[in-house]
Amino acid sequence: MRPCRDPRRDARRGVTTAAGRRRDGGGAGGWPGTGGPAVPPLQAMTGRLPHLAARLQGFGTTIFAEMSALAARTGAINLGQGFPDTDGPSEVTEAAVAAIRAGHNQYPPGPGIPELRAAIARHQKRFWGLDVDPDTEVLVTAGATEALAAALLALCEVGDEVVALEPTYDSYTACAAMAGARLRPVTLHPPDYAVDLDALAAAITPRTRLLLLNTPHNPTGAVLDDAELAAIARLCVDNDLIAVTDEVYEHLVYDGTHRPLTGFPGMAERTLTISSAGKTFSLTGWKVGWACGPAPLVDAVRTAKQFLTYVNAAPFQHAIVTGLELGDDYFGGLRDELAAKRDLLCAGLTEAGFAVFRPAGTYFVTVDVRPLGFEDGMALCRSLPERCGVVAVPNEVFYADPARGKHLVRFAFCKRTEVLAEAAERLAGLRV
């Protein structure tokens, strides 16, 4: 076991980063992988970049890039960025190889290949009971992130407001800014991260254009229940709002049940539902996502999307058809495997002394670091690789006011069981 170093001793010595540099970034060379001056990438998120448009000031290198670079530099176990450390089902990867060999390597149709759009429509019916026209109500995108960006670019005017549940995945604020819109967060609070419906209603103003909803929710792992979703649907209908839902973790639910918002009264004609293959098939690098909804919304998003990537991932689109047609044993097995990994990591984090907020879905778990005597999750995350050989992500980056999440840290459990067990053993040293 790699012993943890005493954080209080490090504080006395002035060590403020896992790389051993002080906050001034002194020393030769650059931040890992940049080749530039020795300044942590996060500075780009807080400082001003001289050539960047004003609407994107404050959006520099993401925390995920910083922490993954730190993991690579130190050899630490990376429980920060949310990607599995094993490939997805062999049937799907072999289908990609077959598609490449079959010559499916040129531009696919703009909306996505017909076979994949049909498979997505069948998936929506099979799992959620939703009827979707594959020809007019499905759009294939370069992952869910492009679908979200294209939706906000297409549906928002400059000065519009977008309401979202906070903590928010970091691309939400950036995508709203690119569209010239403003994100208005409604904060979810631990331990249960329930939606404050009064606060949500109060956040809606005459300038609100759409509600951006993420369930199962990253980073909290909350799964909105029927009562919350029904109330949100009523707010959308009463205020004539478009709903854009990020449902990439739809198959990763361990407690409760995932229900798409579009299935609630009055929502089918005003909801754009977004998901992707990355999380469901452990193939995050393929970047195959989709958006489903009424034809007028999909047409609008397609108009914006065609000037972003235009098209993408031709052979992978063919392979994802195979994935979406896998049997219930695959989808159930994925859920059960990740539930066991969740329980393993939650137990290890509890034993280490963190206050653990057990997630109902996704493959992330949030902890409160204060029971161990820490107050600053960012500082802890930057020092964990050297102290324990483990990387996590500070939740403060998911909040409009970082102080709200300063004491919270997120760990990913989409790793091999032996890796999670080793990480838990290393983290146990924080308590001594």
pLDDT digits (tens, 9 = 90+) for 365-417: 999 999 999 999 999 999 999 999 999 999 999 999 999 999 999 999 999 99
Q: Dig out the tokens for 156 from the structure.
A: 């928002």
Whole-structure pTM value: 0.88
pLDDT digits (tens, 9 = 90+) for 183-225: 999 999 999 999 999 999 999 999 999 999 999 999 999 999 9
Residue 135 corresponds to which tokens in the numbers above? 């020809």
The reported pLDDT for the residue numbered 48 is 79
- Average per-residue pLDDT for the chain: 90
Task: Report how far Cα 176 is from the mean position of its chain's Cα atoms.
Answer: 16
Report which DSSP code applies to 316: H
Other CB atoms within 10 Å distance of the CB of residue 416: 12
Structure tokens at 96: 């990609």
Residue carrying structure tokens 């929502």: 267
pLDDT value, residue 67:
87
| Strand order from edge to edge, sheet including 138-141 | 138-141, 289-292, 271-276, 242-246, 208-214, 161-166, 182-187
Q: Please name the helix (run of DSSP H) or strand (run of DSSP E) that holds residue 166, with its range, or none.
A: strand 161-166
Q: What is the mean pLDDT of residues 317-338?
A: 98
Q: Are 341 and 417 in contact (CB under 8 A)?
A: yes
Most confident of the ranges 1-5, 63-67, 319-323: 319-323
Pairing of strands 208-214, 161-166: parallel
Q: Please give the biggest Cα pair distance in the chain.
A: 63
The pLDDT value given to residue 30: 31
Highest mean pLDDT among 5-14, 48-57, 415-424: 415-424
The backbone torsions φ and ψ at residue 174, rounded to the nearest 5 degrees and listed phi first, read -65, -45
pLDDT per position as a tens digit, 76-127: 999 998 899 999 999 999 999 999 999 999 999 999 999 999 999 999 999 9
38 torsion bin: left (phi>0), alpha (psi -120 to 50), beta (else): beta
Instruction: List CB contacts of 401: < 8 A, sequence separation 6 or more.
Output: none
Cβ–Cβ contacts within 10 Å for residue 255, how many?
A: 12
**Percentage of the chain surpassing pLDDT 90?**
82
Q: Determine the number of helices (DSSP H) and then strands (DSSP E) in the chain.
A: 14, 13
What pLDDT shows up at residue 4? 57
**All domains of the chain, ordered by start, with CATH?**
7-86+330-431 (3.90.1150.10), 90-324 (3.40.640.10)
- Three-state DSSP class for 141? strand
Q: What are phi and psi of 295, to 5 degrees?
A: -55, -40
DSSP state letters, 61-120: S-HHHHHHHHHHHHT-EE-SS---SS---HHHHHHHHHHHHTT--SPPPTT--HHHHHHH
